[in-house]
Amino acid sequence: MSRSAWSVLLLILLTAEGCETRREPAGPVTITFTDSGWRDPATRRRRDDEIRQFTQETGIGVQLVMGGGDAAQPANQRALLEQGTRGADVVSLDATWPGMFADDFIDLKQYVPASEIASHFPPLIANSTVRGRLVSLPRAAIVPLLWYRTDLLREYGYRAPPDTWDELEHMAARIQAGERAKGQPDFWGFVWAGVQSEPLATVALEWQASEGGGTIVDHGTITVNNARAVSSWQRAARWVGSVSPPSVVEYTEPDVSNVWHAGHAAFMRSWPLEFAFDGRGSVPDECVGVAPLPRGAARRAATLGRYGYGVSGRTPHPREAAMFVRFLSRRDVQLKRALEFHVPPSLPDLYDDPRLAAANPHFGAIRKTLIDGVVARPSEAAGKAYPDVSRAYVEAVHAVLTSEKGAPEAAADLEDSLRRLTGLESPRRQ
């Protein structure tokens, strides 16, 4: 009898053994990864190369999660981050994200040596460090630049790109008039992203900050309702329909890029990512010049863009994810990326490498910008309220650009809105 019982048990065990379904091989870890620029084939190729190299070196797999792009507002990304399995382990962070989502990412200081952190441009590290935690590690220096047509500047007798906004306006108007006279009715002096969305916040911040109008929130006070800010917005409103197309208030960053690369504009305010679009438009490479953004009455201000990667606090593989982030910001990887794909590195000393200078003659403007003065959107001060702050700010500036509101009125209304949203006060009037 007990022998039969044992046989039955054995049969069950054998069957159970056979029932065991295929399991994931308990081998190398695979981490997921969201990145910007995933639609563009050149960027995809570059990233695929880097992922392959990382996997070869470490045995850790990386899966790119598509998504993001223009449609990716911070709130959407936030949702992605919170969706657990659908949120990625390694996330590309906009410059505003460390301030907003500091607690959702791990502190990279536990995985990255201090010397390595210190080797990046200080403004990038400063923007990435929130309440002492290193939320993201830079993998590039993404700051806006003034793009210009070297051929046209030469043609119209300019030896150097404009150093101030006034010079820019002046030169743009002249070249525009000249080109239109040559039979190009769609030619414009200066294109920039004026659509009512986040990019306008970066642009408008540069206008008002360079004029000394503050960075929206400065030292715990709201700085939008002041004469310098108001006049900077008024100047931009003046550009609309004069040196910039009336439709500029609907221009997203791709539109700006499209119009400039099509040869329909003399100046463009855009990102260094444009270097990667080898010969896409009709403007020959040798006619492309790059300079730091013009200075205002007070200073030179360039708003930080998306430059780094963070590791989600929800990742099951923080060590592997941090390894990948370190890899992406590694010196040799950044150098290769700069040489082959023209991505400006976040490591200042790389700019002294003669190979880099040879491959990217325009990178001097980037180092200059980072040394000279970058400005950050007030995400750290606003925290989770930043998307609302940004929306209110963009709405106000856009209303000025489209002449729906006068700039002083818009500034006063915005100040009220921001007070409500942040609970912060305006600086005392003198």
Partner 1 sequence: MKIATRLTASLIAIVLLMAVVAIVAVWPYSLIVSSNERTTAVDQAALAMLRVNIDVYDFRSRLAAATDSTDRRRLADLAAALDGHFQTDVEQAERLIVSSTPLAHDATIRGALDYVKAEPPYMHARILALAAAGDWPAARLRMATEMPWLVDISSGLVRRIEGEVAREQADAYARAERARQLFVVLLIATLVALLMAIGLAWSTTRAITRPLAVLEAGAHALARGDFHHRIALTGTHEFADLGSAFNYAADRIGELFAERDRVEEQLRQSRADLARVARVTTMSELAAALAHEIRQPITAAMTDVKTSVRWLTRDEPDTGEAKEAAARAIKDITRASDIISRIRSLFKKDDQTREPIDVNDLVDEMVPLLRSEARRYGVSIETELDRALPNVSADRVQVQQVLMNLMLNGIEAMNESTGNLIVASRANGQNVLISVTDSGVGLPGDGAEQVFQAFFTTKPQGTGMGLSISRSIIQSHGGRLWAEANAGGGATFFFTLPAATHVLSE
- The rounded distance, in Å, linking the Cα atoms of 109 and 326 is 11
DSSP code per residue over 281-350:
SSS-GGGEEEEPPPB-SS---EE--S-EEEEBTT-S-HHHHHHHHHHHT-HHHHHHHHHHH-PPPS-GGG
Whether the CB-CB separation of 355 and 368 falls below 8 Å is answered with: no
Of 70 and 151, which CB lies nearer to partner 1 in the complex structure? 70
Backbone angles phi, psi at 84, to 5 degrees: 60, -105
Tokens 């006068």, residue?
406
* Coil vs helix vs strand at 34: strand
End-to-end CA distance of the chain: 101
Least distance in angstroms from the C-beta of 420 to partner 1: 29
Least distance in angstroms from the C-beta of 331 to partner 1: 29
Least distance in angstroms from the C-beta of 249 to partner 1: 7
Closest CA to 142 of 288, 295, 338: 338
Of 56 and 85, which CB lies nearer to partner 1 in the complex structure? 85
Whether the CB-CB separation of 323 and 60 falls below 8 Å is answered with: yes
Of 234 and 258, which CB lies nearer to partner 1 in the complex structure? 258
Least distance in angstroms from the C-beta of 86 to partner 1: 6
Of 6 and 113, which CB lies nearer to partner 1 in the complex structure? 6
Residues interacting with partner 1, by CB under 8 A? 1-2, 4-5, 7-8, 11-12, 15, 18-19, 32, 34, 39-41, 63-71, 85-86, 88, 186, 195, 245-247, 249-252, 254-255, 257-259, 262, 264, 280
Least distance in angstroms from the C-beta of 278 to partner 1: 14
Least distance in angstroms from the C-beta of 156 to partner 1: 22
Of 242 and 258, which CB lies nearer to partner 1 in the complex structure? 258
Of 69 and 113, which CB lies nearer to partner 1 in the complex structure? 69
Of 71 and 181, which CB lies nearer to partner 1 in the complex structure? 71
Least distance in angstroms from the C-beta of 88 to partner 1: 7
CA angle 57, 62, 68 (to 5 degrees): 140
Q: Which residues contact 127 (CB under 8 A, 6 or more apart)?
A: 95, 98, 304, 376
